[in-house]
Structure 1
Amino acid sequence: MTAAEDVTVVPANEASWDDVAAVFGTTDYPGRCQCQRFKVAGWIWRDSTQEQRTAMLRAQTACGEPGAATSGLVAYVGGEPAGWVAVEPRIAYPKLRGTRVPWTGRSEDKDDDGVWAVTCFAVRKGFRGRGLTYPLARATIGFARERGARALEAYPMITQPGKEITWGELHVGARQVFADAGFEEVGHPTPRRVLMRIELSIVD
């Protein structure tokens, strides 16, 4: 487990593009997807090219532009770029509109820009298995609230002891990570996924 005092989390626009690129790497799921699963046109993110997805992420993060809007947070461990979490207004993710996960059993307004969403984690090789998604999830709360969000949602996966989960499957995060941050389960749209939410107006 990474000691909390060794972890610093900053908005991606306060980080360098080289640091973000180092987190995503180039070889496995995060490096291929570039956090574009819910954004790219087409049936699946692989309908786009690697170059297109990388260019999209670079534009969305606005690295090195502290005054600009950005699409996520970067975690540093001992000064080294180590993790990423995507957090933006829910309407920034077009493909969330077409999936049942956020909407099953709810009459939620899909165009409500006051609701933000946490959609993706990426942890750099060499830093995985150290609990880095916990401080990243906690950091999304203040980040979203400071930018006017009144609620924050996540769509994590249920993990079970003894059952192996590939990193690609767990890019949305684990239920326990969000529960630890104070999110509450408000829906269970599929056997393996839950909808979790925190109302920011009542968070101290």
Structure 2
Amino acid sequence: MPKETGDYDIVPLTPERAGLFMGLFDGEGFADNPEWAGCYCRCYHFDDSMGEWDESDGATNRPAACALIAEGTMRGWLAVRDGRAIGWLNAARKDSYAAFRGDDIPGKPGESTGMITCFLVAPGVRGQGVARALLERAIAGFREDGLEWVEAKPARNAAGPARNYHGPLKLYVDLNFALVGDFSERQHLVRLAL
């Protein structure tokens, strides 16, 4: 069921909604940061055995993201207004991401933990609560799935909106996430018990 929030709905990404996702990435989502437009939120699904992420371009990432959506591997939430996506949150079980598998990954085990990886909010609607609405819906979705925890890795010192793509620390603190340590030298680790 979509969650109505003001004049937009928060809906899960499904294969039928892949066009909304692609429309955001191909359109206004990266209007102020076009050099990142080719990521298609594939980074954390990228298996290093396939090469180097930095060598993967939009021509490769777009069809790969379509395949991940079609098979149900790429999961998350879309903010939709007037038939177009204005926001996206990549959020799924931690162990569904290739980048978060292994014993050396900080935080709770992946089978019991949801992971917030990336936000994309169209520049024209930033600062209007879209990211918060997406995060609140993801938390509710993780509870519905019976997970025990949700984690995220906000940047320590994000230089501008583009570098805050994991979500700003304040957003998590405002929703009662605890700062529990470091995910990396550039990222905090925050966690919420579900």
Instruction: State the TM-score, normalizing by the size of structure 1.
Output: 0.75
1:99/1:128 CA distance change after superposition, 3 Å: farther
Q: Find 2:97's aligned residue among 93, 99, 104.
A: 93
Query: Which residue does the alignment assign to 2:169?
Result: 175
Query: Which residue does the alignment assign to 1:16?
Result: 17
1:190/1:52 CA distance change after superposition, 3 Å: closer
Long gaps (5+) in structure 1: none
Long gaps (5+) in structure 2: none
Amino acid at match of 2:128: R
Q: Quote the offset at 1:86 in angstroms.
A: 0.6
Query: Which residue does the alignment assign to 2:78?
Result: 74
Q: Quote the offset at 1:98 in angstroms.
A: 7.0
Cα deviation 1:90-110 (Å, max 9, x = unaligned): 11122234797x51xx6x44x
CA distance in 2, matches of 1:179, 1:15: 34
CA distance in 1, matches of 2:85, 2:11: 10
Query: Which residue does the alignment assign to 1:41?
Result: 47
CA distance in 1, matches of 2:185, 2:140: 30
1:130/1:192 CA distance change after superposition, 3 Å: farther
Query: Contact conserved, 1:10 with 1:75, CA < 8 A, in 2?
Result: yes
Q: Quote the offset at 1:186 in angstroms.
A: 1.2
Query: Contact conserved, 2:38 with 2:59, CA < 8 A, in 1?
Result: no
Cα deviation 1:98-156 (Å, max 9, x = unaligned): 797x51xx6x44xx411110101111243234332111111111111212322111111
1:172/1:124 CA distance change after superposition, 3 Å: same
1:22/1:30 CA distance change after superposition, 3 Å: farther
CA distance in 2, matches of 1:190, 1:90: 16
Aligned length: 184
Instruction: State the TM-score, normalizing by the size of structure 2.
Output: 0.78
Q: Find 1:137's aligned residue among 135, 138, 154.
A: 135
Give the RMSD, CA atoms, in angstroms. Answer: 3.0
Q: Quote the offset at 1:44 in angstroms.
A: 4.2
Query: Which residue does the alignment assign to 1:165?
Result: 160
Identity percentage of aligned residues: 24
